A and B are shown apart, each in its own frame.
Chain A
Amino acid sequence: MSIDGQTTTGPDEAGASAAASAPGLRRAVIVGGNRIPFARAGGAYAKSSNQDMLTAALDGLIARFGLQDERIGEVAAGAVLKHSRDFNLTREAVLGSALSPETPAYDLQQACATGLETVVGLSNKIKLGQIDSGIAGGVDSASDAPVVVSEGLREAILDLHRAKSLPQRLQILSRLRPKDLAPLAPGTSEPRTGLSMGEHQALTTSQWKVSREAQDELALNSHRNLAAAYDAGFFDDLLTPYRGLTRDGNLRADTSLEKLSGLKPVFGKNLGADATMTAGNSTPLTDGASTVLLASDEWADARDLPKLAAVVDAEAAAVDFVHGKDGLLMAPVFAVPRLLARQGLTLEDIDFFEIHEAFASTVLSILAAWEDEDFGRTRLGLDGAFGKIDRSRLNVNGSSLAAGHPFAATGGRIVASLAKTVHATARAEGRPVRGLVSVCAAGGLGVAAILESL
């Protein structure tokens, strides 16, 4: 273990599989999922609230699996951009849905990892026997984002509320300046660095020397794979239309390398000719919601519901990005090796990889770090490079660059799609099939999980 390394073998390493096979724990299975098509910000869902979209995704799931009036063990979901009045967003969505009003719910927030973390948390409750069924999910609206008042106005309003006399009130009001009255729109800047996510990723992109061509190619594959999946009917049982959308609004089935390479850089422009990140190889602001139905074997069997995959294990990681030790979105680089080591697995044991495309260069930087001998030795505590991924097994049904990325909804989108993919492949090839999900998040966070076909 080196001082600056996040070693892969922790003190709690048991050497063998933990979550799935630990005695006394039962299995948590993925029954299926439902989402609404993702819309570009200001598009089809411009007037739809987080609660509207989460309820729509939930009601689609309820209809698909016949859950009307069913009391689900627990529903967990969240939103990254959330108005304070939506403190009980998930519970309110449940109350507006066709589920039994006696279904408990809670909100969770872990930036872009929110959706995946709800899957992990509810799976663990199922494994422990605390609940028999759960619905995980997430939603985000960049269009209907909360707008807040300035800090100066906020403090003045609170002080006014406490003031007892007219002179006190006048004194408080006299503090206000015109600039205090301007509302603040939510930003995606990191609180500690002031850099936007894109600017952070531009630093990482440059550090790992990810080329513009490689980014554009990854973006093109995302669009092609997503379009092919739609054409093949892959999403027919994963999605319900909403507000007139039947496909993700950001999908450009006809895009090409020529079109993508013609776009101007939008992040890292201070790098001059070395700037590589464009609107085409970065995810756009998006609106949408997703849900995943989780259950114990007994619960699913009793209702004659499908069982696509088991949630095997998960790992969260974080990086010290504040002073640039690692890139903001590089935590999955550490989460995945730790997770696979705990399960006694290597990259070769994984059949499908879902690495969330916050930016094309995020995926490529993660892959570059895993392929780097020195990084593997000094930072991951391995004998050499962690390994290389067969790119034909990466994001096979498209990912966030094409579908869009309503922050908290991405985890549910990926988990439901991957569960269906491993299940179908296992059926076709007559062998167990594994999938790996990795999602990076603001604050230097990352969460990874392993699914295995049933």
Chain B
Amino acid sequence: MTPVQPVILGEMPSLSKLYVNAAAQAARRRLMGTQDGSALPAESHEVRGVGVDVGNLTAYQHLIGETASDVLPAGFIHALAFPLAMSVLNRDDFPLPLLGMIHLRNSVQQLAPVLFTDVLDITAHVENLRGHRAGTQVDVVSEVRLAGSPDTCWRGVSTYLAKGVFLPGIDKPSPAPVRADFKAPDPTALWQLGVDTGRAYAAVSGDFNPIHLSVLSAKALGMRRSIAHGMYLASRALADVGAVRGDSFTWDVEFEAPVFLPCRVALDISSAAGTSGTWERSDFVAWNPRSGRRHFSGSVSLS
């Protein structure tokens, strides 16, 4: 789907303003009732000439455990594009409430390496509004190009669920897929995540969503404790796969049970080689070593 008309923003929108605005919008909709139909905004949002702060990049790489090279980690680009993606969800004509949406899955195609010295054009749009057994889901698509270039070097699709929101005209919720029982393998790594994990990732990613920051701010939004950012977890798994992934790859993750902080997370990464003996893909799965509940799973594979 090619959106009709990009809306060019003068600069990267401020996430904190977006969150405040989203809260105000939620209150307004509660008072006025949801007025909108079931159509997504056709317009994409675009910011041109985006640069990277190298100090922020280094701090991100140190936190995630990525090699501190001049190449931007795929998860860093996600964080870079995130405010623009949120700005599309924050539009008045976007039919779902932004606050409280749950990140179900994320798929990134890193098509070419991006250096911190590169200047970037970033676009974001929404597509594929569809039913879910627990509500309505939607894809937010972000694309990054070197400034002035037509070629996409990074493309991310984030799928969000608006839980309990059912829009007229959207497919009936499908029945829950039958999931095979998860049997935890032997872990290859064990992460100790402190209570400050959410704050530390917020500081390098700019995503100060209150559900990640502290017990109090999370409780205010109905969570029993603060939870780790999904993209923090997925980015650490990507870093764990290491340099073998090369410069271009596909990185998929599906989120399940949230990671309440503080906690320990067990991780298993298994890699597979192709017929020539070179790396082809690494699959990862993470779970709670006490309860055995699966937190997330995914893969990094050759594009």
Determine if A178 is an interface residue (Cβ-Cβ < 8 Å).
no
Determine if A56 is an interface residue (Cβ-Cβ < 8 Å).
yes
**Closest residue of A by beta carbon distance from B245:** A98
Determine if B67 is an interface residue (Cβ-Cβ < 8 Å).
yes
Determine if A97 is an interface residue (Cβ-Cβ < 8 Å).
yes
**Is B243 touching A96 in the complex (CB atoms < 8 A)?**
yes
| Complex interface residues of chain B between 231 and 257 (CB less than 8 A to chain A) | 242-244
Contacts A69-B278, A244-B117 given; indicate if A96 touches B59 (C-beta within 8 A): no
Q: How far is the CA of A56 from the CA of B67 in the complex (A)?
A: 8
| Complex interface residues of chain B between 9 and 39 (CB less than 8 A to chain A) | none
| Complex interface residues of chain A between 49 and 68 (CB less than 8 A to chain B) | 49, 51-52, 55-56, 59
List of A residues within 8 angstroms of B190 by Cβ? none
Determine if A427 is an interface residue (Cβ-Cβ < 8 Å).
no
**Closest residue of A by beta carbon distance from B279:** A69
List of A residues within 8 angstroms of B242 by Cβ? 95-96, 101
**Closest residue of A by beta carbon distance from B61:** A52
**Is B55 touching A47 in the complex (CB atoms < 8 A)?**
yes
List of B residues within 8 angstroms of A52 by Cβ? 58, 61, 67-68
Closest approach, in angstroms, between the C-beta of A384 and any C-beta of chain B?
Answer: 54
**Is B278 touching A48 in the complex (CB atoms < 8 A)?**
no
Q: How far is the CA of A52 from the CA of B62 in the complex (A)?
A: 9
List of B residues within 8 angstroms of A59 by Cβ? 67, 69, 243
Instruction: Give chain A's interface secondary structure class.
Output: loop
Q: How far is the CA of A97 from the CA of B246 in the complex (A)?
A: 11
Determine if B70 is an interface residue (Cβ-Cβ < 8 Å).
yes
**Is A55 touching B69 in the complex (CB atoms < 8 A)?**
yes
**Is A56 touching B69 in the complex (CB atoms < 8 A)?**
yes
List of A residues within 8 angstroms of B54 by Cβ? 243-244
Closest approach, in angstroms, between the C-beta of A334 and any C-beta of chain B?
Answer: 40
List of A residues within 8 angstroms of B244 by Cβ? 69, 98
**Is A97 touching B243 in the complex (CB atoms < 8 A)?**
yes
Selected from A49, A69, A101, A241, the residue in CB contact (under 8 A) with B68 is: A49
Closest approach, in angstroms, between the C-beta of A112 and any C-beta of chain B?
Answer: 25
**Is A97 touching B62 in the complex (CB atoms < 8 A)?**
no
List of A residues within 8 angstroms of B243 by Cβ? 59, 96-98
Q: How far is the CA of A340 from the CA of B185 in the complex (A)?
A: 61
Determine if A242 is an interface residue (Cβ-Cβ < 8 Å).
yes
**Closest residue of B by beta carbon distance from A52:** B68
List of B residues within 8 angstroms of A95 by Cβ? 242
**Closest residue of B by beta carbon distance from A47:** B58
**Is B70 touching A97 in the complex (CB atoms < 8 A)?**
no
List of A residues within 8 angstroms of B116 by Cβ? 243-244
Closest approach, in angstroms, between the C-beta of B241 and any C-beta of chain A?
Answer: 12
Closest approach, in angstroms, between the C-beta of B46 and any C-beta of chain A?
Answer: 27
Contacts A47-B55, A48-B58, A96-B242 given; indicate if A241 touches B67 (C-beta within 8 A): no
Closest approach, in angstroms, between the C-beta of A289 and any C-beta of chain B?
Answer: 12
Closest approach, in angstroms, between the C-beta of A94 and any C-beta of chain B?
Answer: 10
Interface centre among A48, A96, A242 (most CB of B within 10 A): A96
Q: How far is the CA of A35 from the CA of B142 in the complex (A)?
A: 36
**Closest residue of A by beta carbon distance from B243:** A98
Bitwise, B57-100 to A at CB < 8 A (1) or not (0) is 01101100001111000000000000000000000000000000
Give how many A residues have a beta carbon under 8 Å from the other chain's beta carbons: 18
Q: How far is the CA of A206 from the CA of B171 in the complex (A)?
A: 89
Closest approach, in angstroms, between the C-beta of B279 and any C-beta of chain A?
Answer: 8
Bitwise, B264-280 to A at CB < 8 A (1) or not (0) is 00000000000000110
List of A residues within 8 angstroms of B69 by Cβ? 55-56, 59
Q: How far is the CA of A356 from the CA of B54 in the complex (A)?
A: 32
**Closest residue of B by beta carbon distance from A95:** B242
Q: How far is the CA of A48 from the CA of B55 in the complex (A)?
A: 9
List of B residues within 8 angstroms of A51 by Cβ? 68
Bitwise, B131-162 to A at CB < 8 A (1) or not (0) is 00000000000000000000000000000000
List of B residues within 8 angstroms of A244 by Cβ? 54, 116-117
| Complex interface residues of chain A between 90 and 134 (CB less than 8 A to chain B) | 95-98, 101
| Complex interface residues of chain B between 100 and 116 (CB less than 8 A to chain A) | 116
List of B residues within 8 angstroms of A243 by Cβ? 54, 58, 70, 116
Q: How far is the CA of A47 from the CA of B243 in the complex (A)?
A: 22
| Complex interface residues of chain A between 8 and 63 (CB less than 8 A to chain B) | 47-49, 51-52, 55-56, 59
**Closest residue of A by beta carbon distance from B67:** A96
Closest approach, in angstroms, between the C-beta of A58 and any C-beta of chain B?
Answer: 10
Closest approach, in angstroms, between the C-beta of B60 and any C-beta of chain A?
Answer: 11
Q: How far is the CA of A47 from the CA of B279 in the complex (A)?
A: 32
List of B residues within 8 angstroms of A55 by Cβ? 67-69
**Closest residue of A by beta carbon distance from B117:** A244
Bitwise, A141-175 to B at CB < 8 A (1) or not (0) is 00000000000000000000000000000000000
Q: How far is the CA of A243 from the CA of B242 in the complex (A)?
A: 20
List of B residues within 8 angstroms of A242 by Cβ? 70
**Closest residue of B by beta carbon distance from A101:** B242
Q: How far is the CA of A47 from the CA of B59 in the complex (A)?
A: 8
Q: How far is the CA of A59 from the CA of B243 in the complex (A)?
A: 10
Closest approach, in angstroms, between the C-beta of B231 and any C-beta of chain A?
Answer: 21
Bitwise, A227-253 to B at CB < 8 A (1) or not (0) is 000000000000001111000000000
List of B residues within 8 angstroms of A241 by Cβ? 70
List of B residues within 8 angstroms of A56 by Cβ? 68-70
Q: How far is the CA of A51 from the CA of B69 in the complex (A)?
A: 11
Q: How far is the CA of A14 from the CA of B70 in the complex (A)?
A: 51
Closest approach, in angstroms, between the C-beta of B299 and any C-beta of chain A?
Answer: 19
Q: How far is the CA of A47 from the CA of B204 in the complex (A)?
A: 14
**Closest residue of A by beta carbon distance from B54:** A243
List of A residues within 8 angstroms of B58 by Cβ? 47-48, 52, 243
List of A residues within 8 angstroms of B68 by Cβ? 48-49, 51-52, 55-56
Q: How far is the CA of A96 from the CA of B69 in the complex (A)?
A: 10
| Complex interface residues of chain A between 206 and 239 (CB less than 8 A to chain B) | none
Closest approach, in angstroms, between the C-beta of A265 and any C-beta of chain B?
Answer: 36
**Closest residue of B by beta carbon distance from A93:** B67
User: A-B pairs with the 4 shortest C-beta distances?
Assistant: A52-B68, A96-B67, A98-B243, A47-B58
Interface on A for B, CB 8 Å cutoff? 47-49, 51-52, 55-56, 59, 69, 95-98, 101, 241-244
Interface on B for A, CB 8 Å cutoff? 54-55, 58-59, 61-62, 67-70, 116-117, 242-244, 278-279
Can you list 26 residue pairs at the A/B interface with Cβ under 8 Å? A47-B59, A48-B68, A49-B62, A49-B68, A51-B68, A52-B61, A52-B67, A55-B69, A56-B68, A56-B69, A59-B67, A59-B69, A69-B279, A96-B67, A96-B242, A96-B243, A97-B67, A97-B243, A98-B243, A101-B242, A243-B54, A243-B58, A243-B70, A243-B116, A244-B54, A244-B116
Other A-B pairs, 10, CB within 8 Å; known A97-B67, A98-B244, A243-B58: A47-B59, A55-B69, A56-B69, A69-B278, A96-B67, A96-B242, A96-B243, A98-B243, A101-B242, A243-B70
